[in-house]
Chains A and B, each alone.
Chain A
């Protein structure tokens, strides 16, 4: 409990500090560049200076944090990826040479490509279907809320939920995992699903699809509702059936949103490591880049050079999406 109090105290101090900064710097600005009781020109000049400085005071803390926690580390990671394990000596591109010859990395890369192909596609697909279906039933909001719920669960919690489903008991004893019980009910042999190379990747991906579908559903459902009614009515009058309306009228109008959902999930996929860490920790050929990076950060005391090199590979995969996002946002701002 003491800990909570001290956290609350630190927090109040922090918040008070923030307020003091914003208020104090503003006040200081008024002292240094006063505009009352000055000659006309002087007041006008001071006012101009103060109003050109003030935005930077407002932005200051944010810029500081963004720089220290995001901009500088990106640059430093790039630098470190050319350094040795302690990050002190320059080793050229040998980290990258090692990386591309490392079987574990090749396997991670292959698995990551699979993840990137399957998870965004499956989540978006299910999200779209569920969004379209739930809009048609009276209890759709409850249904949506329940399907959306996994979003609130941590990756590691979700991993436990699914590990329990995949649980394996040898033939003959009662299965306590839902999947194996079902498989046995159908008359097949139970399997230790997460230890079957290649296919175990799919079982891990299901967890992320389970979590991300709710996100896709919420965004796509809003997009579907934003479609002008007239287009659907016109199609109905022309005699289109439900499926035709969905695929030929509705989906083409929300391509933009589908792309947004797809890319957002793609980025999540690149960063996810908790699921692999909890389920297999990369055993049975299920390694992915993010978990491999985490592993090298601490393996044998930590190899900063190699860890940074893997981080850079992940970053390189993100850059196209980043550029696309910025261009989209800029185009949108110009529209306004």
Chain B
């Protein structure tokens, strides 16, 4: 690089530095602060879900990286291993649990005072025995009398406990807490409940955009009105209807078919609204010229409209997917709480009741329910934003 280039570059840097006013710094810092405020709850959950459950229960997740001091108890080797040297009986060994290492901060011989002695000092206990524990956990316990009994003597000590990370929480919730089954149930509900309404809505949107028919304005107004009808209004009548139909056919009222159709019905107003907005804005010339060429409405829809509306279809699909996956109300009412029907949100609610204090279960479970929608969100965000912008009634 030549000197002039370097000079030029440094001068632009200086200029840039000058342009960064205090206000810009404030803007950057406030955005940073807001981002931290918005992400820290989820981040805390994620960190907690991979912590050891004993550590999770006693310390905040923000301390997860630092070691903590703990009072612990160990036992010496059994008296049968004692050796007789220089007139005293000696027990030797290491207090660390099998396969682990410890960092001893202090030790003692009674539970009242586990930090009586510094590591590395040979201390005389009340009964005349001596005990020395090194920082690495090596201990020497000596007595003038022979050690008796079958169990080792207790040593109380304070040690640094290193942070422990584990995937055990996930292993547990996926198998024994039934989250694996619920994951499959959720997929079973979500995939058909996303795809069925798209097809129905696309045809309807095409008819409302490009076909000559009476009451078009009225129908559109109805669809827009139905966009905001609270789900609560639908639940009781539909539950009764489902029960009657099930009774008539002699089957259970809770079924996957029932919830697919329910989600189809509830998702249709948004689907029709979104797709109509998009389809009615397709260039008129394309559709007219296809008509002139003798294409039927069915052909136009299949060959021209459907491929061109891919962005709108994708937007709605993501919406519906997120909504159905995250829904608790419709699933509870139309599927119930049977094990073969319980979706992730329902399972989460149940765990919140039964395992309310077990944060290792709750955090890992919550993360399992979030992983799919968050992946969908980050990979397909573009379509989601586009759908939001088109979907809010302006």
Query: Which A residues are closer than 8 A to B by beta carbons?
Result: 1, 3-4, 7-8, 10-11, 14-15, 18-19, 22-23, 26, 51-52, 54-56, 58-59, 61-63, 65-66, 68-74, 76-77, 80, 87, 126, 129-130, 133-134, 136-137, 140, 143, 145-157, 159-165, 167, 173-178, 181, 210, 213-215, 218-219, 222, 242, 256-257, 260-261, 264, 267, 270-271, 273-274, 277-278, 290, 293-294, 297, 304, 307-308, 310-312, 314-315, 318, 321-322, 325-326, 328-330, 332-333
Contacts and interface: CB of A to CB of B under 8 A. Distances in A.
Interface in B35-66: 35, 38-42, 44-45, 48, 56-62
Contact of B196 (A8, A18, A290): A18
Main secondary structure of the interface of B (DSSP, over half): helix
A210 B59 CA distance: 25
Interface residues of B, number: 116
Nearest to B45: A161
A304 B388 contact: no
A151 B393 contact: no
A271 B328 CA distance: 12
B232 A290 contact: yes
Contact of B41 (A26, A76, A161, A325): A161
A278 B352 contact: yes
9 contacts: A7-B187, A23-B298, A52-B212, A65-B264, A70-B265, A152-B326, A164-B48, A176-B61, A210-B38
Interface of B: 23-24, 27-28, 30-32, 34-35, 38-42, 44-45, 48, 56-62, 184-185, 187-188, 191-192, 195-197, 199-201, 203-204, 206-208, 211-213, 217, 219-240, 256-257, 260-262, 264-266, 268-269, 272, 296-298, 301, 322, 325-329, 332-333, 340, 344-345, 348-349, 352, 359, 362-363, 365-366, 369-370, 373-374, 376-378, 381, 384-385, 388-389, 392-394
Given A74-B233, A260-B392, A218 B385 contact: yes
B329 A273 contact: yes
Given A294-B329, A325-B393, A164 B265 contact: no
Contacts of B31: 130, 133-134, 137, 140, 143
Contacts of A261: 392
B232 A271 contact: yes
B142 to A, nearest CB: 38
A133 B192 contact: no
Contacts of A322: 225, 228-229
Nearest to B229: A70
Contacts of B204: 58-59, 61-63
Contacts of B268: 62, 65-66, 69-70
Contacts of A136: 24, 27
Contact of B257 (A10, A145, A165): A10
Given A3-B185, A61-B200, A318-B228, A10 B359 contact: no
B392 A315 contact: no
A7 B378 CA distance: 26
Contacts, number: 343
A11 B196 contact: yes
B366 A133 contact: no
With a 10 A CB-CB cut-off, give which of A69, A133, A175 has the most chain B CB atoms.
A69
Given A58-B207, A59-B208, A270-B230, A147 B236 contact: no
A69 B262 contact: yes
B207 A55 contact: yes
Contacts of A133: 27, 30-31, 34
A22 B296 CA distance: 13
With a 10 A CB-CB cut-off, give which of A1, A297, A332 has the most chain B CB atoms.
A297
Contact of B206 (A4, A58, A146, A174): A58
A151 B374 CA distance: 9
B369 A69 contact: no
A102 B60 CA distance: 42
B292 to A, nearest CB: 15
A210 B34 CA distance: 11
Nearest to B239: A297
B388 A80 contact: no
A178 B47 CA distance: 13
A147 B184 contact: no
